Structure 1
Amino acid sequence: MGDITSNLPIRAKSEPVKFGHALRDSDFLFDPSYRNLNHGSFGTIPAHIRNIMRQYQDRAEAKPDPFIRSRYPELLDESREAVAKILGVPTETCVFVANATMGVNTVLRNIVWNEDGKDEILYFETIYNGCAKTIDFVVEYNRGLVQSRCVPISYPCLDEDIVQNFERVVEEVKKEGKRVRLALLDVVSSNPGIRFPFEAVTASCKKHGVLSLVDGAQGIGMVKLDHLAEVDPDFFVSNCHKWLHVPRGCAVFYVPLRNQPLIRSTVPTSHGFEPLELPGGKKRVNPLRPNDKGYFVDGFQFIGTVDNAPFLCVKEAIKWREEVLGGEERIRDELIKMAREGGKLVAEALGTEVLDNETQTMSASAMTNVALPLPAEEIKANGEGQEVHGYILDTLMDEYQTFVAIFVFQGRWWARLSAQVYLELEDFKWAGGVLKEICERVSRGDFRKSI
C-alpha cells in the first residue's frame, strides 16, 4: 500500500470557512437529527480525519509487523513534533497516552512518597471525579504514606481568590507538620466548565516547592497553551480527542526533562521499563527496535497491542484546523465568543444567569454554565436528585436528540453547554427553550411518572 493520502477536500480559498451548520453538514459525521451541544465530554472528528485514521488502520492490517515495528514509531514522532509546537515545548518532552485520566494515573502511581507519612496531595473542589478517585486509590494503596486534602472554591470568584485559597491550605498543612508534595489542578474544570487560573497556581506551587500536575483534559484546542514552557508545570496532560478534533482516545502527556526520571514506568508497565536490578544480574530483553530517544520517550512508544491510530492523526488534525478552520487563534476566539453569547441566550430563556466573575476570566473557554430554575433544596430534601438527573438526561437524548451536561454545584442545578465550529447561536437559543420545558416538567413532578 502507498503513503497515506491526506489531501484536504477541495474548497474555495478566498476566505476562511464560515463556522456553523453548513460546516457541520459538509465536514462532520453527525446524524442529521442530532444537535451536539456536549462537545466537551467526548469530542468528535470531521470525516477527513476519520478517513485518515482508517488509512492508518488499513496500513497496519496490510503489513502488521513492518508497520507497527518500523513505520509506526516514525509517524508517531511526526505527531509528537506537531503537538509540541502547539504547546511551545520541546518534542522530547511530549508523548501520547490514551486519555488525561491515564496521564494523571501515570504520575500519581510513579511518585515515590516519603516514608515519614507526612506527604499530602492537594486538589481543588472542582476536580474531575475520575481523578479524585485516583487520588483516593493512591492514598489507600500506600497505606499511610500519603494523604489528600481539598482546596475549597466558592464560585463566582476572582482568580486571585483561588490562588489565595491554595496558599492558605498549603500553610495549614505546614503548620500541622506535614508537607504538600503534589497539587492536582485543571486548565478548564469539568463541572462547572470554568477556565482555571492554572498558570498562577502553578507559579504558587513553584514558590512552595510543590509538584504541579496539570489536568488539561479540557485544554488543547480550546484555550491558549503555547506558553506551556513559560508556565513550566511539573507534569501536564491534555486530551487531543476533545477540542483538537483528533479521534478518541488520544492525549498529549508533557513531562519536562528534569522530571522524566520520576516517571519510571508507563501504565501499564511494559517493554520500556528497565528494573534497577534483578536477582543474579539477569537482564530482560526488549524485543522492540533500539533507538536513541531516551528512556521516557522510548517507554511510551509502545505499551501494548492496541489501536493507536488516533495518535498518528494529531498532525493531520492540526493541519486541518489550520488550513480549513483558519488556525488555533481564530478557533479559540470564535468559540469563546460563541460560548459567552450562547450562554446569555440560554440564561435569558430560563430566567437565570451564567456562572462568571466580573473580569470574565471564568468564562474564557468554549464552555458555558447556566443555572437551571429547579427547586434544588426541595429535590435534595426529598432524596430525588438521582431521579431528576436521570430524567433530564434521558429526556434530552430520547425526545430532543441532544445532550447537555447537567450537574449540581454548591447547592444549585446547572447546565454546561459547549460551543463548537459546527454550531450557531440558534442552537443555544433552541437549547434554552428545551431546558425550560424540561425544568417545568420536573417542577410538575413528571419525573416521578418515569420511575
Structure 2
Amino acid sequence: MKSQFLLDTTITYLNHGSFGACPKPIFDAFQRFQLELETDPTDFIVKRQPNYLKTARESLAKFVGCEAQDLFFTSNPTFAINVIMRNIKLNPGDEILSTNHEYGAMDRTWNFYCKKSGAKYIRQNISLPVTSKEQIIEEFWKGYNGNTKVVFLNQMSSATALIFPVKEICDRAKELGLITIIDGAHVPGHIDLNLTELNPDYYTGTLHKWMLAPKGSSFLYVKKEWQNDLEPLVVSWGYESVAPGESQFLDYHELQGTRDISAFLCTPNVVEFLEKNDWKTVSKNCKQIVLNNYQRFCDLLNTEPIAPITGEFLGQMASIPVNTNKPAELKNLLYNQYKIQVPVMSLNDGFYIRYSINAYNSQADLDRLYNALEEIISTTDLIKV
C-alpha cells in the first residue's frame, strides 16, 4: 500500500493527522478534473460542474449518513465554522460551552465572535488523564448554566488525539434546548460516523485527512431547521439566484464564482478507493498498531497515558506526553537528523508527541521513532525523563 502514496520515501511520515496524504489513484482523478476544467473552462463550469458536484455530494452524504441536500463542500473546517459563527445570533452574556481540548483555530474563531457579540466562550476543563467516558461528560456539564445557549465540541481532539463522547453530549444538549456544533475534522474515514444517528445541528469534517482526498476538501452539514436562516459567508451568484436550484441552502453556499473545486468533485473516486481497498480493515489494523505501542512510548519517556489505552479513546493516532521545554527544537531535530515527520503538540500546559498510523506505515516506522527518542534522551537535554 505504501507504493500507492506520493509521500517522500526518505521520510518516516507519522503525521497523517495534520494534513492527510492522497493516494495516487485519487490524485490522478483530481488532476483529470483540473485538466478537464482547463481544456474548456466555460463548458466545464457552466454545464458539467453542477452535475459533477451533485454526484460528489450524493456520494459523500451516503458515506457520512445523511441526505445529500443537507451538506455542502468547504475548503476546510475553519471555513465551515466561520459560516456558522457569522450566523449564530447570541446576546451579551450568552455562553458557548466548549472544552479546553479544542483546535486553536476554532478557539480563535469563537474568541473573535465573542469580542463582537458580547457572548462568552467557556473552555470547560477536561482533566488529564481521562479515566472514563463518564468523567468527560460529568466535567463537561459542570460548565453549563442558564446562560448556556450553544455546545461546541470536537469529536476528536487534535492535540491529544482523544475521542470525545459527542453522542451522549449531543443527546443531553437536545434535552436542554441547546444548539450543537460538532467539529469532526478527524472523523470521516477514521471512526464510524452516521450524522442521522448523531443528530447535531451543525457538523463539519474533512475529506483530505482520513478519507485521503486531495487537500482542501471538507464539508458542512446543517440540520434542515437551520438551513434557510444560514446566510453565505461569501455572497455570490447563488444569492437570490435568477436560476434557482434544488434548494436555497445549496444555492447560497455552493455557487461562489470562479474557483477550482476539483478536490470536491473527486469524492466518488475517494469513496471508491476506500471501498475497493477494504479500508475498514486497513483502519482496524492501523488502530491496533497505535494501541500496541502507546504504553511502550510512555515507558520510554517516563510519562503516563492520558486515557485508557482502548479503542474507546484512541483511533489511528495517539499523543504521548513528553517532558520538554523545547518542543520546536525536538520536532526539528526529529525531522532534520532522523528524517521523521512527527508533530510535538502543545495543549494547555502540556506537550505531546503525536504519531499517526495509516496504510503506508508499519511497526518499523514506530521503531525508528522509538530509537530516535532513545538516542535523544541519552545525548541531549531536550527530553527529561
What is residue 141 of structure 2 aligned with on the other side? 167
**8 Å contact from structure 1 (residues 350, 433) kept in 2:** no
When Rg is computed on C-alpha atoms for both structures, the one with the higher figure is 1
Supply the distance in 2 between the matched residues of 1:354 and 1:159 (Cα, whole angstroms): 15
Matches within 5 A, 1:2-41: 23-25=1-3, 27-41=4-18
**8 Å contact from structure 1 (residues 60, 68) kept in 2:** yes
Residue 438 of structure 1 deviates from its aligned partner by: 2.8
**8 Å contact from structure 1 (residues 220, 240) kept in 2:** yes
Residue 442 of structure 1 deviates from its aligned partner by: 4.3
- Secondary structure of the residue aligned to 2:358 is coil
| Corresponding residue pairs, total | 383
List gaps (5 residues or longer) in structure 2. none
- Secondary structure of the residue aligned to 1:273 is coil
What is residue 318 of structure 2 aligned with on the other side? 368
What is residue 399 of structure 1 aligned with on the other side? 337
Supply the distance in 1 between the matched residues of 2:143 and 2:259 (Cα, whole angstroms): 42
**8 Å contact from structure 2 (residues 7, 21) kept in 1:** no
CA displacement 1:168-221 (0-9 Å, x = unmatched): 211xx32xxxx2121110111101111111111111211111111100111101
Letter in 1 for 2:52: L
Supply the distance in 1 between the matched residues of 2:379 and 2:271 (Cα, whole angstroms): 43
What is residue 200 of structure 2 aligned with on the other side? 233
Supply the distance in 1 between the matched residues of 2:239 and 2:303 (Cα, whole angstroms): 54
List gaps (5 residues or longer) in structure 1. 1-22, 275-285, 380-387, 446-451
State whether structure 2 residue 213 is matched by structure 1 residue 246.
yes
- Secondary structure of the residue aligned to 2:13 is coil
Supply the distance in 1 between the matched residues of 2:192 and 2:311 (Cα, whole angstroms): 16
Letter in 1 for 2:278: G
Supply the distance in 1 between the matched residues of 2:378 and 2:348 (Cα, whole angstroms): 22
Residue from 85, 88, 103 that aligns with 1:108: 85
State whether structure 2 residue 168 is matched by structure 1 residue 217.
no
What is residue 298 of structure 2 aligned with on the other side? 347
Supply the distance in 1 between the matched residues of 2:81 and 2:98 (Cα, whole angstroms): 12
State whether structure 2 residue 278 is matched by structure 1 residue 326.
yes
State whether structure 2 residue 106 is matched by structure 1 residue 139.
no
Supply the distance in 2 between the matched residues of 1:313 and 1:366 (Cα, whole angstroms): 24
What is residue 93 of structure 1 aligned with on the other side? 70
Residue 396 of structure 1 deviates from its aligned partner by: 1.9
**8 Å contact from structure 2 (residues 102, 158) kept in 1:** yes
Identity between Structure 1 and Structure 2 (%)? 25
TM-score when scaled to structure 1? 0.81
- Secondary structure of the residue aligned to 2:84 is helix
Going from structure 1 to structure 2, the CA distance change for 1:257 and 1:344 (only over 3 Å counts) comes to same
Going from structure 1 to structure 2, the CA distance change for 1:37 and 1:261 (only over 3 Å counts) comes to same
Supply the distance in 1 between the matched residues of 2:350 and 2:23 (Cα, whole angstroms): 36
Residue 411 of structure 1 deviates from its aligned partner by: 4.1
Matches within 5 A, 1:30-429: 30-114=7-91, 117-142=92-117, 144=118, 146-155=119-128, 156-170=130-144, 173-174=145-146, 179-225=147-193, 227-265=194-232, 267-274=233-240, 286=241, 290-323=243-276, 325-327=277-279, 329-357=280-308, 361-363=312-314, 365-372=315-322, 374=323, 379=325, 388-409=326-347, 411-429=349-367
- Secondary structure of the residue aligned to 1:40 is helix
What is residue 6 of structure 1 aligned with on the other side? none
Letter in 2 for 1:207: E
- Give the stretch that moved more between structures: 152-161 or 76-85: 152-161
Going from structure 1 to structure 2, the CA distance change for 1:358 and 1:399 (only over 3 Å counts) comes to closer
Supply the distance in 1 between the matched residues of 2:162 and 2:30 (Cα, whole angstroms): 32
- Secondary structure of the residue aligned to 2:48 is helix
Supply the distance in 1 between the matched residues of 2:373 and 2:148 (Cα, whole angstroms): 42
